[in-house]
Structure 1
Amino acid sequence: MTKQEKQERRLQKKEERQLQKQHKKEVERRNAERELALQNNPDVICLLKKKKKGLLRIVFSRFGLSAILLLLQAGLIFVMFGTDFENPDIITVLLAFFSLFMFIHLFRSEMSSSAKLTWLFMMGLFPIPMSIMLWYTERDAGHITVRDRMRGLIRQTHHKLPQDEEVLKAPEIVKSNTDSLCRYLNQSGCFPLYHNTQVTYFPLGEDKFAAM
């Protein structure tokens, strides 16, 4: 390969890299415009909010919480043994009672035996941070947030699926005494009842194809 061919090849690769960068920037720009349009559209409801990025995502994650709690435990140990603390025995006794209380709470919980042993080992090493982490996981704050979010979305979109009252007045619904149940489900959630939804069940797939 001659020197000129090598130079042309380098220029070609450089142009390809530039085109790839331009394409990537164009895709990111389109995605940003699409997200902005969806956020500004009142008819669009996002199930999940955009996640935090960078340092905030680490701070508010379980890893960040664990790191903060471990630093708290290390600071407490330093105060007890690394400084001229007058009564370190008091903190030791309080930690012992606190650990005993958390162990009793752990054994009374409904989690599996393997999970209890894991928590027992971690709480034996780091009583305070692991106890707070146990409380955090038992509260299940993430699930509660998602549950409240879903309930709010159901309330916001309840009017988009109205219940046809004529359907509830159908003879087969009235005779079966399920009209009140249908009204309850539609009021508590968003589950309207429809008509013309007959379904035929076949014992075998061959029977279905024969009927088709």
Structure 2
Amino acid sequence: MKQIRGMLRIIFGRTTFGVVSLIAQVAILFWVFRFLSRYIVYFYGGFTLLSALVIIYILNKEENPSFKLSWMIPIAAVPVFGILFYLFAEFQIIGKLINKKHQANMEETEQYLKQNSKVMDQLSKISRQDANLARYIKNTGHYPVYGNTNVRYFSLGETMFEAMKKELEAANRFIFMEFFIVERGQMWDEILGILEKKVKEGVEVRFMYDGMCSLTLLPSGYVNELKEKGISAKEFSPIKPALTTYQNNRDHRKILVVDGHTAFTGGVNLADEYINRKVRFGHWKDTGIMMKGDAVTSFTMMFLEMWDISEKEPSDYGKYLKDPEYFYPLELSREGFVIPYGDSPLDGETIGKQVYLDIINSARQYVYIMTPYLILDYEMVKALTFAAKRGVETVIIMPRIPDKKYAFLLARSHYLELIRAGVQISEYKPGFIHGKVFSSDGTKAVVGTINMDFRSLYLHFECAAYLYRNEVIRDINRDFKETLKECRSVSLEDVRSYPWHERFAGRALRLFAPLM
């Protein structure tokens, strides 16, 4: 009887319904294609002309060439179906509405994110190049550069988790949490227990997770379970059984803000593998940072801007600034500069990518990179190889045990070109690297949620913090070098010894790289 109930649950479950619904929609689209194909003899010339016009339009779009190629090939190979699918993807209205609301929210928070001219003048005197980068982030991404901010680096998810619990326990006014992945287990159970306790103490708790979780990790209606506990909760862009493109834009950010004076970000999600209480791909190496100081304001507003996308009325933003009576511990150093920033896939700006490119292109001595994925476009490959060719020590740490085989094959397809140019690639022998870290020349670093792949750089909502002349950069570099001791350096001989079918698969997958 139990087996029958299990089978019925699968057959009539929401996942099955969603898959069947999507298959039906694809079938309808294909039927339209087949129907029009009957008349292709009569309209061949018209479709050929239309294909040419669409390809010319794509060529002239301000878009990454890899995305253009991914569209041009199917349009040229299968004109009718290719054009129909392109037009379907191009005229998605929901993504435009989300962007419009997000931009409106950013305008509402602008008064709380004004650039302190003294901080900018100080940065300009030290480094014109970094001041220019700060202006770019402010002008296009909305977020200013700050001084007066202490930063602590976490080299493992376990240590970040302990710090998160400590700060959550100390919350007096509000807690904001925004995460890509939430899965029930020891990590989430401990955090949820603290949140329930804080709610009873009168602390306002808002919790938002990406709608992708509801597919496999959380039950349907989990938001309502959290609301019953007194937590204001919501899913960002719940997955629906509709053939659409806006659901490709996931909320990949990880943000925790406490009382407007403390913020966390990094690669750590709320699931047991991130703190090695569950083993999935060997040892899970993740990273993150905690900030205390003025820069926390940007993460507070960043969270509220996303939260209010689905709200009719904006939040009382000024209510969530740091309490003026709050004093930071005297032992905390607040030297250097911090630029928190968010990156939206809908505004036409690739801030995450541009910051990475700026670090690579301005490096004089070294650039160290830790990333779980290496799915690169032409610009990024050329920036990395040019840095190595001009004598900059360019080192990339990748996982030895991947979480996605196809992504690993695609990453390895870049190894030959990178290593030939002098880029050093090492794979983490104990397991999986999930940290997203850049550092260069002992003066600058980035820690956040942004992977070196198309999804992070183009398709997801992301966040990070740019650090300049902050003493925490020493800790970041120390961790990188310690991690490097646990890695195996990849040589040209290694690359050439990979099985031929894996090398072929990796190169073939490049055609679909913008979707990975």
TM-score by length of 2: 0.19
Task: Select the structure that is richer in strand.
Answer: 2
Task: Select the structure that is richer in helix.
Answer: 1
